Structure 1
Amino acid sequence: MIRVYFLLLCLLILSAEPLMAQEPDQSLRIELPFDWNKTSVEVIALPDSSLLIFSKTSSTWGSKATFNLNKYDANLKQVWSKALDIPSECEFIRYYTEAPYTYLALSGRKTEEYKFLQVHIPTGNLKLVEQEFKNIDSIYEYGVIQGNYFIIAHNSKDDNPVLLYLNPDHKEPQILPTLYDQRSSFSDLLIDKEHKRVDVVLTESNNRISRLQVKSFDVYGKLISNHFILQNGNRSLLNAEITPGDSTSKLLFGTFGTRDIRLNQGFFVADVASGVVNADFYDMLQLENFYKYMKPRREKRVRAREKARIKSGKEPLNQYRLLLHDLMPTPAGYLLAAEVYSPYSGGSVSTLNYPLLFPSSRRTEGYKRSHLVLLGFDRAGNLVWDNNFPMSEITTPTLTYAVEIAHTADEKIIIAYPDENKIFYQVIQGNTYQNEVSELELLRLDADEKIKDTYDPGVIRWYGSTFAAFGFKNKNNKSYSEEKVFYINKITF
């Protein structure tokens, strides 16, 4: 049986100093009887401040796997539960939410078979769409608008990225027009529900220079407009995020490089309609806090050296690989964040600068981060502030987001990442830099219980300034017997 615990704050914390009183609140926690060796779990934040838990439990004796969907409200109380009758071979790929539905993409028995599960958020009513995509062996990203699917996938026949349109009632997918070759990749897919359109940003290169193409489609896959965002001088446009709105008001926020298009030299903002003519470029030296991950003396030396190189007509020596996060609208404008990373343990360097791009065939052993750079813009695309979050201790085996970011109504930015039974975080505002990262130990159900192992810890932004921290753990309870559970902590900043 699922147990829900209210973790009451003790009088000692209530009477502590103001700094301690600012520690995030952990008032709720649940534990589910899931064994890490048998169960995989996905935690999905929903727009009504609830959580959707998708779980697959496999049997070690080869019997059919069980799939379940459970919805929990903001108080971590179960709202509804659904068992799914799908083949054991199905695996979760990713999800997309267009209220009042959340859509789960699942792999099928065969490589080209996929299932899309439509979940009605209030009631849990389900609709399953089964689809075969010829020559498609991977789905990288997708979105849904008015029940129609726009899918970025990989074509195994020619090894190229492809954009598909699917109306489930017609069953036959349509390849949408754009330029497809191995040097093309998708940088952004934006479902603009308000304006009833879908915008796609495509990166095109010849391995020496790179440009962007923005295509807009209506909800039925018909091309509305097409814009080429051309190179500016020796600056190659590498990746970009697009804002919602009509064609005359859309902005691109992205990165640029020069000689090596795998490396980023700075950021740019451009009007989609006018191409690169009105673009603003910001190299790393122009950012107040970009080099703050270094010690002060080193930062001073690097800045002096780079300024001297630029003054003499040379390129900056320090150029970076950046993993762009999705562009976040804020009350004042937009927030653009990028994780600065490098591959480690030998092997070739992946060209992956964004989750929608496709990595090289050779693999590295992992990726380490140095820091997170954050840029705050107003609604017109003017840079207002920049900041930096140190990430020197973080490595990931694949190039996926290592931190979660949220913003509040009073323009504070919350950054968090998990590590074992702790959450490391900062709450920043504007360009005020902090070199210390706070840590929060996740509260247990019983202070006397002994945690033996923690597996797959995670954290996601839930709603407002609230996050959900989760993972598997093995523990010994009061009776010294071992329990294997999946926990979810509610954390409010």
Structure 2
Amino acid sequence: MQYSITLFFIFFSLSVFSQITQPLRYEIEIDDFYDPYFIVSAEEKGIFIFKEMPKESTFKENVWEIIRLDTLLQEVDRQEIIIDKKFNFKGYDYQKGRFVMLFQEGRDYAEDLLFISFMADEFHIQTYIYDNLVPINLTEFEMKNDAVVFGGNVNTRAALMMYNFTAERGVVLPGFYNDRSSLLQIVTKSDDEWVRIITSERRYDKSYGITVRAYSTQGELMFTQNIDGEENISLTDGRIVDSSKGGDLLAGTYSTKRRRETSRGLYIADLSDPDEKEINFYNYADLDNFFNYMREKRKDRIKKRIARKKIKGKKLRFSYRLYVQDIVKQKDQNILIGEGYYPTYTNSSSGFMPYSTDAFMTRNSAQVFDGYKYTHAVLMGFNDEGKLLWDNSFEINDLKSFQLEKHIHLAFTEDQIIMLYLFKQQLKVKVIKGQEIVEGKFSEDLKLLYDDDEVKANNDELEGLENWYDNTFFAYGVNRVKNLRDNNIELNRKVFFINKIVVK
């Protein structure tokens, strides 16, 4: 196995104030084009990449390779760990210098759990076994100080657990396991000592509201807050601001009372006073730039319809699917990031009907889910009291994925916001300043290792873009690369790559 790294000083200008550079690229050769490394940011301590090594594994044990790179994408450590074959890899997380891998006994439902933990500065592995008495279909895994929180569903009901490494003890978190709740968010990035669990819960009047529960890292329930909309309004989604305050602002989407699939707008709730929760609602029609992703003629038609309704004292109601992916604190503003999407389907023949009485056999035709198509990203800036300051949008209609996941990333300069996402080996970029568009959407290719490299194939499903630290990001994926000119370079190579991307 070989790996390479190249330093190159290539940048493209965003405006007179900002620029993006791609100073480094790391490559490691792989055998299987569809079996890449997992990758996780260790912030200023670098990056971990890791994968199971089938050729080194045995009938009883799996071998995993773990590589740590520094911020110059230089390899500083490479280790192997051996895992009992009965455990299947399920997840990972990194926080404050500690890296944890999660394995579960059982394929679909977790029985016993195995945690592999070590610090970024020293590869001293510690293992912990949690004897799980409640088989659970795990969907979430997060770290908080000396504990991990993991959750999912048991018989379609939400369930959450916590394991504390210091006490070497696991607990089932109280307050869940009912048939009226679904997990929205596990909040661990705050300066206080609590973990917050955000759930959507069906109330007894058949509306939906948001419940926030806070726990210590020992699993003790500290408080519960219920947040509900106005009459005939359901709160369908919610995220807490990632800030040092510990989470006094909640934002998400709302809909009519009994509808959850689509939403009518966004809400912002101030949770600082437990006895008096102020909620501000913003209909999509009231946002200045929500429809900017549309073509000009269509956008103008909708704006005119909204204006006519307002003259008559009425509101035009729009229904959208909006995935609220994050809320970030930036100076004196809180910025909500949402992505509009819709599900797509294909028609698929499922074979001949076995009991047809027709003279000719009839073929069944069924709709098969074919992924989520994204339309645009929505940004909203609001103050600490939840009052809307501005809104903007970013067209992303070339993206498609089979899971709802984060695509848009933000970088901040003195007075600008740079929005980025990755699609088919190209960075898509837009620069805004509040409601003002500083620079419209444009594209830039990911840089390759050598000048004469040419990408012959790219696995679109395995590429990604992630925040690293500050205004630094990394793009990653799998390429099949051809080079016809450079000496001492293989003619064809299959590589897992990482590109360092810096916004200044």
Q: In 2, Cα distance between the equivalents of 1:275 and 1:230?
A: 13
Contact 2:431 2:438 in 1 (8 A): no
Q: Distance in 1 between matches of 2:197 and 2:28?
A: 39
Q: 1:254 aligns with which of 252, 275, 287?
A: 252
1:421 and 2:425 equivalent?
yes
2:53 is aligned to 57
Q: Per the alignment, do residues 124 and 333 of structure 1 end up closer, same or farther by CA in structure 2, a change over 3 Å counting?
A: farther
Q: Report whether the alignment pairs 1:305 with 2:305.
A: yes
Q: Aligned pair 1:488/2:489, yes or no?
A: no
Check 1:17–1:451 CA distance in 2 against 1; reply closer, same or farther (3 A cut). Answer: closer
Shift of 1:485: 1.0
- Counterparts of 1:195-274 in structure 2, within 5 Å, are 195-205=192-202, 208-243=206-241, 250-259=248-257, 260-272=259-271, 273-274=273-274
Distance 2:13 2:81 in 1: 50
Closer, same or farther: CA 181–365 of 1 in aligned 2, 3 Å: farther
The answer for the alignment partner of 1:443 in structure 2 is 447
Is 1:381 matched with 2:386?
yes
Q: Note the residue ranges of structure 2 that are not aligned, 5 or more in a row.
A: 348-366
In the other structure, the counterpart of 1:127 is 126
Instruction: State the shift of 1:376 in Å.
Output: 1.2
Give the structure with higher Rg (CA).
2
Residue 148 of structure 1 deviates from its aligned partner by: 2.2
In 2, Cα distance between equivalents of 1:414 and 1:476: 33
Which residue identity lines up with residue 419 of structure 1 in the other structure? Answer: F
Structure 1 match to 2:472? 466
- Equivalent AA in structure 2 for residue 472 of structure 1: V
The aligned amino acid for 1:293 is Y
User: Would the alpha carbon gap of residues 328 and 95 (structure 1) be closer, same or farther in structure 2, given more than 3 Å must change?
Assistant: farther
Match of 2:463 among 457, 467, 490: 457
Unaligned 5+ segments in structure 1 are 348-361
Between structures 1 and 2, the one with greater strand share = 2
Q: Give the RMSD, CA atoms, in angstroms.
A: 3.1
**Tell me, what secondary structure is at the counterpart of 1:299?**
helix
Partner of 2:5: 4
Q: In the alignment, what sits opposite 1:174?
A: 171
Question: Do the aligned partners of 2:285 and 2:316 also contact (CA within 8 Å) in 1?
Answer: no
1:84 and 2:81 matched? yes
1:156-195 C-alpha deviation (Å, 9 max, x unpaired): xx32111212235666642222243344112221125522
- Alpha-carbon distance in structure 1 between the residues aligned to 2:127 and 2:431: 41
Number of positions where the alignment pairs a residue of Structure 1 with one of Structure 2 = 470
Q: TM-score, normalised by structure 1?
A: 0.86
SS in 2 for 1:297: helix
Which secondary structure does the structure 2 equivalent of 1:43 belong to?
A: strand
Letter in 2 for 1:366: G
Which sits farther off after the overlay, 385-394 or 28-37?
28-37
* Aligned partners of 1:90 and 1:109 also within 8 Å: yes
The residue aligned with 2:295 is 295
Q: Which residue pairs with 2:350 in the alignment?
A: none
- Secondary structure at 1:220 match in 2: coil
Deviation, 1:311, is 7.3
Using the alignment, how far apart are the partners of 2:148 and 2:166 within structure 1?
11
- 1:53, 1:193 → 2: CA distance? 26
> How far does the alpha carbon of each residue in 1:70-115 deviate from its partner, in whole angstroms, 9 at most, with x for none?
1111111122222111145655433333312122223445542432
C-alpha distance in 2 between matches for 1:187 and 1:70: 32
Name the residue aligned to 1:71.
68
Superposed displacement of residue 234, structure 1 = 2.0
Q: 1:30, CA displacement in angstroms?
A: 1.2
- Tell me how far 1:61 sits from its aligned partner: 10
For the 8 Å contact 2:88–2:103, the answer to whether it is kept is: yes
How far off its partner does 1:287 sit?
1.2
The amino acid that maps onto 1:196 is E
| Deviation for aligned residue 1:309 | 5.5
Q: Alignment identity in percent?
A: 21
Residue 193 and residue 276 in structure 1: after superposition, are their counterparts in 2 closer, same or farther (change >3 A)?
closer
User: Which secondary structure does the structure 2 equivalent of 1:48 belong to?
Assistant: helix
TM-score (normalizing by structure 2): 0.84
Measured in 1, the distance between the counterparts of 2:444 and 2:54 equals 33
SS in 2 for 1:285: helix
Report deviation, 1:265. Answer: 1.1
Q: Which residue number in structure 2 is paired with residue 365 of structure 1?
A: 370
Distance 1:57 1:418, change over 3 A: farther
Greater displacement, 97-106 / 17-26: 17-26
